[in-house]
Amino acid sequence: MSLSDLRIRIRHATENDAARVAEIYNHYVDVGGATFDTVHLSSEMVGQRIKQPKPDGWYVAESGESLLGWASARRYSDRFGYRFCCETAIYIAPDGQGRQIGNQLQQRVDQHCVQCNLHHAVARIIADNQRSLAFHYRHGYEMVGIQKEIGRMNDQWVDVAILQKIFRPDGN
């Protein structure tokens, strides 16, 4: 593997990225364990989401011509009281795993949250997804609760872990 294969660039997502972003997400719809979705997202649906104004933000990780992952910070709720809160998501293509792409995307999403004056980020994770939980803990998220049997997958009730990260202006 050459050094150029290792260079990862994080940038704002554009509508031109929508098909690949959907493809990465739809992989996880197919394999399960990371989403409750059972229907693939279309590139049009993803393109509409990418176009949403701040405080929403979408980012992609690319190496050469390959888009290897994406991350988003999206409004948690349209209710006025939640205007300083977002929900985050990160999905890495199978061929991008093990390259620290998730860490780079999470750092960029955190920067986005601070730049947009967001105070609180939420991550909802299927509770037995230990890899995702450990990732979020490493990035300063803390567990605030478990929603018992909130979702249904493979004819079984599934718990969801609710994690949060607070952004403080002074960095503490």
Q: pLDDT tens digits, residue range 113-153?
A: 999 999 999 999 999 999 999 999 999 999 999 999 999 98
The pLDDT, as a whole number, for residue 1 is 45
pLDDT score of 4 more than 90:
no
Q: Taking a C-beta distance cutoff of 8 angstroms, is the pair 68, 95 a contact?
A: yes
Predicted structure pTM score: 0.92
Between the alpha carbon of residue 157 and those of residues 10, 32, 126, 160, the distances in Å are: 36, 14, 11, 10
H-assigned helices in 32-79? 43-50
Token pair 């997804």: residue: 129
Give the three-state DSSP class for 69. strand
* Cis peptide preceding 55, ω within 30 of 0: yes
